[in-house]
Amino acid sequence: MPMTSRKGSLDFKFDVAAPAGWSYAAGDTIIGSLVRHTPIVTPEATITLSLLGRIKTKITESKSNNSRTHYRSEALLAKTDQVILSRQPLHLPEGSGAPLCWEFAVDIPTEPLQSVRQGFTPRTSFVPLDRDHPAHHTLPGSFFSSRDGITVSSSGFVEYYLKAQLQYTFKGSSKTVEAIWPFRLNRPVEGTSEQLSKLNCLSIFQTIQSQRLLPGMQHADLSLKQKTQKLLGSSKVPKLVFNMRIYHPTAIQLDNPEPIPIILEILPLPDQTSSSIEDQSIVINWVRMCLHQRTSVLAPSNFFTDHAHDDDHPSSVNLNLESAFQHLESPLVMSTGGKGEKKVNIGEMFQLFFHSNGMVSGFRFLNAVAPIPDFTTYSIQHTNAVEWKVSYSVAGETETVKASSTLKIIAAA
C-alpha cells in the first residue's frame, strides 16, 4: 500500500516556491508554477490542478495455507480543484531557451470534507460519528506507520499532494501528462494550557529492611545470621518505610520554552518505620524515562462493513534521562529527616526540554528520536505513555522503583 510518489518530467512538472523538506499548516497557501520544457504545438490545451488529502489503512492476515486476506480503509480528507488553463493553444518551438510556465496559488483547507464521515461506521472509526469531535474540524498531519508481523501485518498513513494534468490535442488525438507533488502537513496543536499546567502524581510505597539502617551500622559487614534474618524479612530487622512520589505533567508540548516539570518527593512514613531508625539520606542514582508509543489502525471486514479489524504498532524508546545524572558534580541526595531535601524538581535542575527532534538537557541532546504527538483520526490513532524508573540507594541498599502513566504529547505551536 504505497503512498503517493512525486511525479514529473520535462513534459510537465511542479516548481514550488519552497525549500526542500518544507512543511505547511492547514490554511497556508502553496505558491509555485507548472512547467513544460518539451516542445509542443497544439490548438487546444487544458491544465487542471487539484489538492488532495487522504487517509488509508491496510491490514493483512496470513493463513496457515499460505493464503492472505487484505482489509482496507480509505477516505478522502481534502479535495480542491482549479483550472489553470482552459482550452487554449500552446506553442513551444524546438530550441526555445525558456519553458512554458503557469503560476498557481492553492489554499490548503482548514478542515476535512464533511463527506469523510460517510466512509465509516461507528465500529470502523476511532472518531464518534454521531456527535461533534475535534477530528471533524481539523485536518490530521501527515503520518505513516507500519508493522510486519508473522500472521498480521498492517500500515496506515495520512498524505497530502498536489496533482496537475495537462490535456492537449496532437494530430487529432487527445494526450494527457500528469505531475504530482506530495507535501507535508504539520500536525495541529491539540491541547490546552490547563493540560500543560496540570501535574499527575505517581505514588510508590517503599519498604527497606536492613540492619545497616541502625545508627553506626551503615558500612558494617553483616553476619550470616543477620543476612539470614534480612533475607527472611524477620521482624527483628529494622525497616524504613516511605512514599516516593513522581510528579509529571499530563501533557507536554514540543518546543515549549519552559522546562518540563518532573518532581521527585520523599514522604517519610514514621508510623510504619522502626523507631530505632534515625533520619536517612537517600541518594538518587538516576531517573529513567522510556517513551512507549502506540499506533492503532482500523479496517472494515470485506463482507460485513460494520465489523472492524484492528492492529497495533507499539514501539519504545529510552529518552536517556539517566545520562544527565552522570554529569552531576555531586550526587543528588534527599532525606527522610526534617533538614534534608524532600522535594526536587529535576526538570528545572537539568533544564529538560522536549524538542521536536528529541529530549534536551540544557544545550545537550539526551536523545535524538523525534516523538510523535498524540492524535486521533477516523481509522488511525496514536497515543503515548511513559514508563518511569528511579534508582536510589540508602544505607548500602540499592533499589529501583517503576511506574507507568499516560502522557499526551502536543505538537509544537
pLDDT in tens, 7-28: 999 999 999 999 988 999 999 9
Work out the mean pLDDT of the chain and round it to a whole number. 91
Q: Where are the domain boundaries for CATH 2.60.40.640 in the chain?
A: 13-185
Closest CA to 51 of 182, 143, 178: 182
| Residues β-bridged to residue 155 | 58, 146
Residue 114 C-beta-side C-alpha neighbours within 13 Å:
1
Question: What local confidence, expressed as pLDDT, does residue 219 receive?
Answer: 60
Q: Does domain 13-185 have CATH number 2.60.40.640?
A: yes
Is residue 374 within 8 A of residue 367, CB to CB? The reply is no
Spatial separation of the C-alpha atoms in residues 354 and 171, rounded to whole Å: 61
**pLDDT tens digits for 278-333?**
888 899 999 999 999 999 999 999 877 678 999 999 999 999 999 999 989 999 99
**Model-level pTM?**
0.89
Is residue 156 within 8 A of residue 56, CB to CB? The reply is yes
Question: What local confidence, expressed as pLDDT, does residue 159 receive?
Answer: 98
Question: What local confidence, expressed as pLDDT, does residue 237 receive?
Answer: 77
Alpha helices in 270-327 (DSSP H): 322-325
